[in-house]
């Protein structure tokens, strides 16, 4: 792919959310042309993500994270890239350094470019998640647990 090739949308697969180590993560896969989804790669990406997250905080915590986030597992042309984001202070989206695994070792996630936030395909999901958080968690309607259930059930496609 040429770096300034015309934008072509990529398939987005909503994956089952996971709850582990006090964290709940919504998860997505993005498939570049010619790439296929692989459960073992996705599982390795999620394991690597859980190892990088800070200690989870409770949903009611005002001064820290809420133990809620989302991960994108991008089966890209050059590598598997897995950006990881989480919510803190109610309305702030935080992220961990980029994780990537080369295609010759697609379950061996290391740190990629620390300054990279994500590509245009990943940012479509980030935009969706920010809007979903605002519409559900910051709506002020219903108990926080009910709002969280609505947020977790709302997935990009």
| 1, burial (CB in 10 Å: exposed 0-12, middle 13-18, buried 19+) | exposed
Closest CA to 76 of 146, 17, 1: 1
pLDDT band at 2 (very low <50, low <70, confident <90, very high): confident
pLDDT band at 104 (very low <50, low <70, confident <90, very high): very high
Q: Which two tokens mark 57?
A: 């905080």
What pLDDT was estimated at residue 1? 63
- The 10s digit of each residue's pLDDT in 68-91 is 999 999 999 999 999 999 999 999
């Amino acid at each position: 792919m040429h770096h300034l090739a015309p934008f072509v949308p990529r398939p987005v697969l909503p994956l089952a959310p996971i709850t582990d180590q006090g964290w709940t993560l919504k998860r997505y896969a993005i498939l570049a042309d010619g790439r296929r989804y692989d459960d073992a790669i996705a599982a390795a990406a999620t394991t690597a993500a859980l190892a990088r997250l800070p200690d989870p905080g409770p949903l009611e915590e005002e001064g820290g994270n809420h133990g809620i986030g989302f991960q994108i597992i991008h089966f890209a042309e050059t590598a598997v890239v897995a950006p990881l984001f989480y919510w803190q202070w109610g309305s702030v989206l935080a992220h961990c350094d980029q994780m990537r695994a080369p295609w010759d070792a697609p379950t061996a996630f290391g740190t990629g470019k620390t300054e990279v936030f994500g590509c245009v395909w990943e940012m479509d999901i980030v935009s969706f998640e920010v809007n979903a958080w605002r519409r559900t968690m910051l709506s002020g309607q219903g108990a926080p647990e009910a709002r969280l259930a609505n947020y977790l059930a709302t997935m990009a496609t």
